[in-house]
Structure 1
Amino acid sequence: MGRMAQISSPDVDQELEQLLQNQSRLNSPWRTIVWNDPVNLMSYVVYVFRSYFGFAEDKANRLMLAVHHEGKAIVAQGTREEMERHVQAMHEYGLWATLDRAEL
C-alpha cells in the first residue's frame, strides 16, 4: 500500500482556519465583573469577596469601593468556563455580576 495522499483544498483550509480562530476566541481571557446594586451592604460585598475569592481584607475593600464608586469592578480573569462559575457564584450570593471578554 502506498502513502495516503494529504487532502487539502481551499474549503478544508478555510474551515480549519475558522476552527482555529474559534478555539483562540474560546481560550482568550474572560473576566468576571461585579456591578453596584441598591440592595447589598458594602460590608456584605467585602464578605463575599473574602469568603468566595479568598481575597485579603484590603483587596476586598478596594474592589468593593470600586463597585460602590465606579459602578463595577473586575474581580477575576481567566477562561470563560471559570468566569461563568464565578458569575454563577456571585448570583448565588445575591450580587449582580456578568462575564465579558477581556480586552487584549
Structure 2
Amino acid sequence: MSNQFFQNIQLSGGDSDDDLNWNGGTVLERAKPKLKKPPMYKVIMLNDDYTPMDFVVEVLCNFFRLDPESATRVMLKVHTEGSAVCGVYTRDIAETKAAQVNQFSQDNEHPLWCEIEPDDEGEGEDN
C-alpha cells in the first residue's frame, strides 16, 4: 500500500463520536438537531350522576398519583363543573391513562369516563 493511502486514512479520521472531524484538512462540525417538546394532551374526567365520589377519588389516586386531598379537590371540580383535568401528558401516556380509567370503571360497573384533548397552553414554546 502506498503512503498516500495511509495519509488519507489519517486525515479523514473515520467514524468518531467527537463533535469535530477532520476531512481532507477541513474541519467539519456535526450539526446538532434542534429538539422540540412533544405536544401535550390533557386527560379530562367527565361527570356522571351515578359513580360514587369515593370511587372517583380512588381512581385519581391510583391512576394519576394524586394525594387524597388533591384527588378530592379534582373530584369536587368534576362534580360541580362537569369535568376537570386530571393530568397533562404526551399523547401515548394520556391515551393509555384514559383507557385504563375507562376500563377500570367499566369493570367496576361505573359509568365514569375520561377523554383526552390537546393542551393548548404548551404551544408556541421553543426548546
Please report the TM-score for the alignment, with normalisation by the length of structure 2: 0.59
Query: Please, which of 96, 99, 103 is the counterpart of residue 116 of structure 2?
Result: 99
Structure 2 portions without partners, runs of 5+: 1-35, 106-111, 122-127
Please state how far the C-alpha of 1:39 moved relative to its aligned partner.
1.9
Please state how far the C-alpha of 1:67 moved relative to its aligned partner.
0.4
Greater share of strand: 2
Report the count of equivalent residues: 80
Please state how far the C-alpha of 1:78 moved relative to its aligned partner.
1.3
The answer on 1:49 being equivalent to 2:60 is: yes
Q: Percent identity?
A: 28
SS at match of 1:93: helix
Kindly report the root-mean-square deviation, in angstroms, between the aligned alpha carbons of the 2 structures. Answer: 1.5
Question: Which structure 1 residue ranges, 4+ long, deviate > 2 Å from structure 2?
Answer: none
Greater radius of gyration (CA) = 2
What pairs with 1:69-88 in structure 2 (closer than 5 Å)? Answer: 69-88=80-99
Structure 1 portions without partners, runs of 5+: 1-23
Greater share of helix: 1
Residue 38 of structure 1 is matched in structure 2 by 49
Q: 1-side partners of 2:51 and 2:38: how far apart?
A: 33
Please report the TM-score for the alignment, with normalisation by the length of structure 1: 0.71
Deviations 1:31-52 (A, max 9, x none): 1000001220011100111122
